[in-house]
């Protein structure tokens, strides 16, 4: 495992991170034992970056990570927490609350559930349209002074918001979706981050399994599964997107690697400041993702991949239109 500094002022992180959301639902039933085993396997392999959100499973994910980290040297793990999303008893989402008083409350609960004294990277999950980003970053900066947080990150915000946030306090990374079929950050967001020395922690590198090479038409359509209402998994979009996967599969086979490995390697190859987050829920999927670390892409490979999966080739948006309308990163 290799390591890089996150942003200009951040910690040293593994060049592959583990996104833990799926261990607490969102993609169908999850298994607690599998989740803990996967976290342990990731740490054993040298992955030190664990990503979660206080609203994943309404606290379940943080408690799962807390259980998995018992007896492990705290300083060897980088815990990234997203906050601010409001949920109801049925699991639905009720907007964002990034008011300073709310974030002080949320961080207290996260520390308790995780069983730690500090959070390495704390970030608003989305922009709260009712709260200036300066206020949100300011209160997290206060948490750093108090010792509860080490660094500040952002998630799914646009270039203007990134610049405003960075003017208040150093930002170590922007967490945002980035994959072969989700390349919207390349136009303005990625250049802004690079101007400011902010890294990218890329989630959705396999587009929620769609370009993993394992997903089959009809999977993931159960109640509570994000893919049951994700445009890319619906109707004619599915067939068009799976055709892209098959084109990518031919390239992967020629290199002797899996579709998932070449898709992850493509993201990682876009720059040392981009760290893919893989949402493995089982050890075997983690092991496959780890294999991407050894995949070297040649100029000919990049050209072939671009031909097979051109920019903007995906059918359907990465989120339902109603959600995209409220995302700062899409404006």
For CA atoms 97, 99, 101, 104, the dihedral sign is: positive
73-109 CB burial, b ≥16 within 10 A, e <16 = eeeebbbbbbbbbebeeeeeeeebbbbeebbeebbee
Distance CA(220)–CA(210), nearest Å, equals 10
- 149-155 and 199-203 strand pairing: unpaired
Catalytic amino acids?
A: 56
Residue showing tokens 């308790």: 112
Three-state DSSP state, 61? helix
Whether the CB-CB separation of 53 and 81 falls below 8 Å is answered with yes
Name the DSSP letter for residue 56.
Answer: G
Separate counts of helices (H) and strands (E) for the chain: 11, 12
9: nearest Cα among 136, 144, 177: 144
Whether the CB-CB separation of 147 and 118 falls below 8 Å is answered with yes
201: nearest Cα among 254, 270, 135, 274: 274
Name the DSSP letter for residue 34.
Answer: H
Continuous H helices in 85-179 = 100-114, 133-146, 159-166
3-state percent helix, strand, coil for the chain, nearest multiple of 5: 45, 15, 40
């Amino acid at each position: 495992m290799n390591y890089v500094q996150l942003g200009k002022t951040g910690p040293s992180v593994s060049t592959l991170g583990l996104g833990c959301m799926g261990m607490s639902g969102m993609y169908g039933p999850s298994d607690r034992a599998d989740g803990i085993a996967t976290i342990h396997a990731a740490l054993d392999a040298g992955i030190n970056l664990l990503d979660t959100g206080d609203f994943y499973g309404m606290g379940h994910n943080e408690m799962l990570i807390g259980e998995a980290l018992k007896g492990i040297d705290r300083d060897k793990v980088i815990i990234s927490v997203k906050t601010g999303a409001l949920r109801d008893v049925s699991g639905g989402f009720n907007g964002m609350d990034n008011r300073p008083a709310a974030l002080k409350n949320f961080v207290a609960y996260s520390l308790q559930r995780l069983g730690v004294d500090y959070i390495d990277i704390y970030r608003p999950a989305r922009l709260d349209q009712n709260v200036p980003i300066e206020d949100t970053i300011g209160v997290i900066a206060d948490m750093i002074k108090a010792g509860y947080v080490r660094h500040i990150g952002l998630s799914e915000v646009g270039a203007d918001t990134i610049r405003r946030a960075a003017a208040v306090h150093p930002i170590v990374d922007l967490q945002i979706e980035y994959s072969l079929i989700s390349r919207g950050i390349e136009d303005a967001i990625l250049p802004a981050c690079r101007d400011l020395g902010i890294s990218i922690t890329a989630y959705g590198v396999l587009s929620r399994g769609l370009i993993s090479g394992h997903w089959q038409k009809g999977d993931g359509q159960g109640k509570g599964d994000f893919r049951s209402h994700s445009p890319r998994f619906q109707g004619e979009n599915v067939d068009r997107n799976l055709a892209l996967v098959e084109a990518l599969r031919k390239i992967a086979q020629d290199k002797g690697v899996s579709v998932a490995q070449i898709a992850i390697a493509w993201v990682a190859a876009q720059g040392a400041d981009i760290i893919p987050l893989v949402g493995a829920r089982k050890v075997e999927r983690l092991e496959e993702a780890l294999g991407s670390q050894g995949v070297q892409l040649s100029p000919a490979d990049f050209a072939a991949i671009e031909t097979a999966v051109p920019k903007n080739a995906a059918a359907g948006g990465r989120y339902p239109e109603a959600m995209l309308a409220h995302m700062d990163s899409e404006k």
